[in-house]
Amino acid sequence: MDVIEPPSPAPALLLLGKAEDTKRLLFGLCEEIGVLFDEARGREEALAKFLERGGHELVVVLDHDDPGLLETIVSLMEVDPGLMWFDLTGHLDEDAWDRLEAHLVRF
């Protein structure tokens, strides 16, 4: 009898920040390449979504408006020391977008 294994879960990205234009672009890219997409506004929400999902492959920071942002990233990395994060604050130039897209398609 063949054993059917469940498919492995899709990779997931956690977004921190409020930059709506960049968020829409990022959501479209994630949808196109099959990466799940969560967003959080603050430490508590980020930790809750991170634990609910069972972790994320990447955290993307869109802006530094949240004064607790560094604490949020540190808290997430305490849960998963190997967690990678990508900073897209400031001007989103083509080079930064290309680096992020190349990273995401590796998942």
The structural domains of the chain, with segments of one domain joined by +, span 32-105
- Three-state SS string over the chain comes to CCCCCCCCCCCEEEEECCCHHHHHHHHHHHHHHCCEEEEECCHHHHHHHHHHHCCCCEEEECCCCCCCHHHHHHHHHHHCCCCEEEECCCCCCHHHHHHHHHHHHCC
Other C-beta atoms lying within 10 Å of the C-beta of residue 61: 20
Provide the whole-model pTM. Answer: 0.82
pLDDT tens-place string over residues 52-91: 999 999 999 988 777 888 899 999 999 999 999 988 876 6
